[in-house]
Structure 1
Amino acid sequence: MPSRIPFPFRHPLPGSPNFNFHFHPNLRPRVVRPQTSSFASSSSSSSSLSASASSASSARAPPRPPRSRLFVWARRGVVLGLLGTGAYLYDRQFNASAITRSLRTGYIGILCTIDYKINFNPRNADKIEALHERVARRLKWVIDTNQGLYLKLGQALGLQAALLPKPYREAFQHVFDRAPAVDYAEVEGRKNERAHPIPKVFLQDLGLNPHDLFESFSHEPLASASIAQVHKAVLSPRKGGEGETGKVVAVKVQKPAIRKQMEWDLFSYRTLMWLTEKLFDMPMYFVADYVSSQMRLETSFTNEARNARRCAELLAQTPELRDDVYVPRVYGEDEGCKESDRVMVMEWIDGCRLNDQKAIEGMGLNLREVMDLAISTISAMTFSWGFVHCDPHPGNILVRKHPTKRGRPQIVLIDHGLYITLPQKFREEYCTLWRSLFVLDVPTIESIARKWGIALDANMFASAILLRPFQVRKNRQQKEEKPELSQYEQQVELKRRMKTMLENEQLIPRELIFLTRCQRMMQANNQLLGSPSSRVNLTAKWAAIGYTGTLTGSRSLHVVGMRTWLRDHWDAMIFRLTLAIIDLAFWATRIKQLL
C-alpha cells in the first residue's frame, strides 16, 4: 500500500474559504490555510508548506533495508569461532585437553559407525577387508593421538589380534611399546612457578621435589606406560641414620594429565558401549560400569601398593612358586618414603620383557620354563588365591636370571594396579568347570553355563572358556557338508553367536570378563614366544589344586566329610591322568612340528 493517497481531496465548504485536506493513512487530516498576498503570510505559508513537505517526505522514506543473510551468518560464524577457539585454548591449557579428546573420540566413533552401517552388507561382501582397514586406521589414529587410558584400549585390541581381521593385527602391533613421557618439570614442580597450567605431581602430592627425598633422581624416565612413568633414584639417609641408604629404587610417577582426563575418557568409553548396543543390537553396555570402576582403582598408587604387598604375602604361602616368582618391595612410611595416590617408590629390578625372546635366550634361559612360570602364576592367582593380576601383558612380567638357582629363570611381577578379587562361590564354580571340561562331565558344564546366563551348547561354551576349539560332546548325526561361507557371512554368524551367548547378560559374572581377558593375554604371550608351553594343561592342573582347596580349605576333610573328600580326590586323580595323556599328545605334536 502506498504511503499516502496520491492526490488531495478538495471539498468547498459553504461560507468559508477553500481548504485543502491532505489525507494520510497513518495521520489525521491536516488543514492547510490559503495563501495571502503579504510577504510575511507568504513566508509563513512557505515555511508551513516546506515543513509539510519535509514531514511527508520523511513519512514516504522507505524503512531501513534488512541486513543480508550472508552477513548475519558470517557474524554468527565469527562469534562461534571466537567462542570455540576460547573453549579449545582453555581446555588445552587448563583441562589437559580432556574435552577435545572426547570430541575426537566421538567423531571417530560416529564415522566408523556410519561406515559400518552403510558398507557392511551382502552387496559389499568383496569390500569387507577395505572396510576393516579404514576402521582399524581410524582407531589407531585416535589411540595414538589421545594416549593415556586409550592405550589400554589399544592393548586390549592388540591382544585380540588373533581373533580379529588382519587389518587390526597390523594396526595394533605397536601398542606395547614405550609410551610418550612427560617433561621432568611436570614431575618435580617449582614452588615459584605459578603460571604453569598442569599441577606438578611431587609438589602437589608431597609438598616436596624429588631431590628433597632422594640422593639422586633421574630426570629422564627409564620406562613410560599409559598411566605413569618410572624414574631411577637412590634413597637418601633417614634422620638418625636408620633405614636403608644408597638403595636403588624405582619411582613410579603418574602423568599429571591422567587425573583430569580419566572421567572424560571413561565417559567416552561408556557412551561408545551404549551406542554400540543400541545401533548394532549387541549387549555391550552391561560391563561398562564394572570396567570403569576397575580402571579408577588402577590409577590409585595407594591401591597398587596394597595389591603388591598382598601378592607377595600370597606368593610366600605357595611353595610351588615362592622361590621362582618375585614381587619388588614397596617402600612406605616405615622406610622414610612418603606415599600418595600418584607417587610410589619400589625396589629397582633389572630384567627383560616376557616377550623378548632374544634377551631371554641371551641369558641362557629356557623359554618353556619361563612361560610355565608365568602361566602357573596367573593360574595360581585364579584358582588358589582368588586374587588375580588382570594386566599381565609382556611389559608387566619381567624375566631375569634366578639369583640363587643357576641356569634357571625367575619372573618379576610389576604394575599391580589392576586386580580383581573372586567371590568364593564363583571361584569354586570356575574350578569345577575346568575339571568338568577334562573329565567330559557335560551335565555339570551345561549347568554352570545356565547359572551364568550363557546360552551356548557345551562345545561352544568349552571352546570359549579354553580359547581354543574343544569338543566335549560328539554329534551323533552325520553333518551335511555346507558350502564355505564368505567373509561377510562368517562375521554375521559370529555376531549371531555372540548375541546368543550374551542373551542373559545380567547373570553373567562380571569377573569372567577380566578372567577371559587375562587368559587371552597369557595365550598371546605364549604365542609370541612360539607356544613353548602347554597353556591349557598347566591352567587345568592349577584348577585341580584349587578344586581341592589347598589354600582356602573350602573342600577340606572336616568341611565336606569323608565321602565327598574321597570322591574329590578320586576325580582329581582321573583328572590328572587325563592331563598326562594330553601332555603326551602335546609333546608328540611339538616333536612333529620340529621334524
Structure 2
Amino acid sequence: MASDSDDKLPPQGRFQRFRKLAGLSAQLGADVLKSGAKRLAGQESELLTKGMADKLVATLGDLKGAAMKFGQAISMDPDLLTPEVRQVLARLQNQAPAMGYDTVARVIRQELGAAPEALFREFDREPLAAASLGQVHRAVLEDGRPVAVKVQYPGVADSLHGDLDNLGMVVKTVSKTSKVMDGTAYFSEMREELLLELDYRREARLCQGFVQSAARFSDLKVPEVVSERSSERVLTLELLEGQTLKDWVVGEPSPEERFRVSRQLIRAIYGPFLCAGEIHADPHPGNFMVMKDGRLGLLDFGSIKRFSERFVDANRRMFLGAMKLESMDILGLSREVGFHVELPDSEAEALIREILHIAGRPMRSPDYDFATCEISRDMKQHFAKNAVRFLKIRPPPEAVMFFRSTGGLAQNLRLIGAQGDFRGVYLEVANLLA
C-alpha cells in the first residue's frame, strides 16, 4: 500500500545509489559463496536464497531506475533461479514500493495544470502497478471511459542518469583493456534507449504508431492514447482489463490456453518487427495482459525500437529462409544485418549457424514442448565454450534491443510451458510477408 509521504521515491545522488548497490553486491556475493561452498561439500544448495531475493527486491525496488530494470531481467531467467526465488523477484515487474498519493497529485498538477479530482471523474489513490520509472493509477474520464494513468517518479530522471553513469564507467574501463572487449557502442545504444523512456510524450507517439503496426493481428490489443490527459511525465491510456502474464500463469491455465497465449506472444513480437520494422523491446511478463475477451494486451511502450531498413530486410529474408528450410548464406546475411566479423569465414559461419540452429528449434518442429525447452541453457553453453571467438563477431548496436526482445520472448514462452505446433505459428507470421 502506498504511503502519504515521499519516502518511496528513488534516491537521486549518484554516489548514494552506488553505495546502496555496493552494499547489496557484498551481501549477494556472500550468499553465492556460501551456496558454492555447500555444493562443493556435496550438499544441495540454491544459487540465491529466498531471503537474499527479498533483500534484492527491497533494495532494487527502492532504487528504481536502471537498477530495478536489471532486477526485472534476472527475474525472467528460468535457468538461473528456482521458481520460488523467481516469484519473489517477479514483484519488481510491477509491484515496486509506491510513492504516496500527495506526490502523485503534485506531479499531475505540475504536468496537466489541475488536481486529479478536477481532471478525472474518478481517480484511485492506490496504484494498479508500480514499476521502474513510474506508477499506474486507475481512473475514469468524464465521458465514463476507464483509463490507466502513468505518473513518473519525481527525481527518477536523475536516478537513471546516475545509474547509467556508474555503469558507463565500468564499460569504459573494461573497453580500454582490449579492442575486442570494447562494448561502448552497445552501452551507448542501451543508454540512449533507456533515457528516451523518460519522455512520456514520445511514448504516446510510439504507442499510437504501434496501434498501426499491430492492426492486422486481431487477437492483439494496443491501448489508445488519451492525448489531452498526457504530458512529458504523465501518460493516460485506455485501460485494459485482465491479468498480467505473470499473474495469469500462476493460475495453472489449461494446455489449450497456454498454447493460445504463447501463439499471441510470438505474433506480438515477430509480427510488428517483420511487417513494420519495430519491436516491443521490454517484454517482461508484467507488460502483457491476458484480457477477458481473449485478446493479448500490450503494455508499456517506452521501449518500442524502430530499426533501420537494412537490419529489418536482412532479418526478414533470414526468417523466411528458415521457415522454408532453405539453405542460406548465413554469413552474408549476417553481414547485411550489420555484423562485423574478424574471424575466418568458415569459423564465423559455423558459430552463427549453431546459434540459429539452437534458437530455431520451435520453428522446425510441429510439436515443440516449451516446458522442457533447453534453448537458453544450450545457448549459454555455446557462448561459454566459444567465448573468445565470439568476441570477434560483433553485431550492430541496434541489435541490442532486438536481442533483448527476442530473448525475453523465449523466456516468457518457457515460463508458460506450452506444447504444440509452433512451427505452424511462425508460418502464420511468414505468410503475412508473402
* Secondary structure, counterpart of 1:519 in structure 2: helix
- In the TM superposition, 1:222-261 aligns within 5 A as 222-236=128-142, 245-261=143-159
2:133 aligned with 1:216: no
Tell me by how many angstroms 1:107 deviates: 6.2
- In the TM superposition, 1:330-341 aligns within 5 A as 330-333=225-228, 337=229, 339-341=230-232
Report what 2:400 is aligned to.
513
2:64 aligned with 1:147: yes
Report what 1:383 is aligned to.
274
User: Is the contact made by 1:372 and 1:533 (CA closer than 8 Å) also made in structure 2?
Assistant: no
Report what 2:12 is aligned to.
96
Q: Which amino acid aligns with 1:181?
A: A
Report what 1:324 is aligned to.
219
Report what 2:373 is aligned to.
none
Q: Which amino acid aligns with 1:526?
A: L
Distance 2:281 2:411 in 1: 14
* Secondary structure, counterpart of 1:449 in structure 2: helix
User: Is the contact made by 2:258 and 2:418 (CA closer than 8 Å) also made in structure 1?
Assistant: no
Alignment CA distance shift 1:293-1:285 (3 Å): same
* Secondary structure, counterpart of 1:434 in structure 2: helix
* Secondary structure, counterpart of 1:352 in structure 2: strand
Tell me by how many angstroms 1:233 deviates: 1.6
Q: Which amino acid aligns with 1:390?
A: A
Tell me by how many angstroms 1:271 deviates: 2.3
Q: Which amino acid aligns with 1:395?
A: G
Distance 1:543 1:391 in 2: 23
Tell me by how many angstroms 1:510 deviates: 2.0
Report what 1:273 is aligned to.
171
- In the TM superposition, 1:450-489 aligns within 5 A as 450-451=335-336, 452-454=339-341, 457-458=348-349, 460-465=351-356, 468=359
Distance 2:380 2:45 in 1: 15
Report what 2:289 is aligned to.
398
Alignment CA distance shift 1:250-1:440 (3 Å): closer
User: Is the contact made by 1:312 and 1:327 (CA closer than 8 Å) also made in structure 2?
Assistant: yes
User: Is the contact made by 2:127 and 2:137 (CA closer than 8 Å) also made in structure 1?
Assistant: yes
Distance 1:185 1:462 in 2: 55
Tell me by how many angstroms 1:357 deviates: 3.0
- In the TM superposition, 1:55-94 aligns within 5 A as none
Distance 1:492 1:420 in 2: 28
Alignment CA distance shift 1:273-1:115 (3 Å): farther
Q: Which amino acid aligns with 1:503?
A: K
User: Is the contact made by 1:396 and 1:413 (CA closer than 8 Å) also made in structure 2?
Assistant: yes
Alignment CA distance shift 1:534-1:270 (3 Å): farther
* Secondary structure, counterpart of 1:96 in structure 2: coil
Alignment CA distance shift 1:182-1:534 (3 Å): farther
Tell me by how many angstroms 1:286 deviates: 3.1
Distance 1:94 1:528 in 2: 30
Q: Percent identity?
A: 24
Report what 2:113 is aligned to.
207
Deviations 1:235-272, CA, capped at 9 Å, x for gaps: 23xxxxxxxx2322211111113122121011122223
Normalising to structure 2: TM-score of the pair? 0.77
Distance 1:231 1:341 in 2: 17
Q: Which amino acid aligns with 2:202?
A: N
Distance 1:395 1:421 in 2: 22
Distance 2:102 2:26 in 1: 37
Report what 1:9 is aligned to.
none
Alignment CA distance shift 1:383-1:419 (3 Å): same
2:324 aligned with 1:425: no
Report what 1:528 is aligned to.
415
Distance 2:351 2:393 in 1: 16
Distance 1:493 1:378 in 2: 25
Tell me by how many angstroms 1:97 deviates: 4.1
Report what 2:240 is aligned to.
349
* Secondary structure, counterpart of 1:346 in structure 2: strand
* Secondary structure, counterpart of 1:159 in structure 2: coil
2:201 aligned with 1:295: no
Distance 2:10 2:269 in 1: 41
Distance 1:497 1:466 in 2: 16
Distance 2:94 2:237 in 1: 22
The partner residue of 2:206 within 295, 307, 311 is 307
Tell me by how many angstroms 1:206 deviates: 2.7
User: Is the contact made by 1:383 and 1:545 (CA closer than 8 Å) also made in structure 2?
Assistant: no
2:415 aligned with 1:498: no
Tell me by how many angstroms 1:386 deviates: 0.4
Tell me by how many angstroms 1:275 deviates: 4.2
* Secondary structure, counterpart of 1:182 in structure 2: coil
Deviations 1:295-320, CA, capped at 9 Å, x for gaps: 0111211111111111112333x2xx
Distance 2:244 2:399 in 1: 27
Task: State the Cα RMSD in Å.
Answer: 4.3
Alignment CA distance shift 1:492-1:443 (3 Å): closer
* Number of matched pairs: 401
Normalising to structure 1: TM-score of the pair? 0.58
Q: Which amino acid aligns with 2:270?
A: S
* Secondary structure, counterpart of 2:295 in structure 1: strand
Tell me by how many angstroms 1:288 deviates: 0.5
More relative contact order in 1 or in 2 (CA 8 Å, sep 6+)? 2
Distance 2:82 2:177 in 1: 24
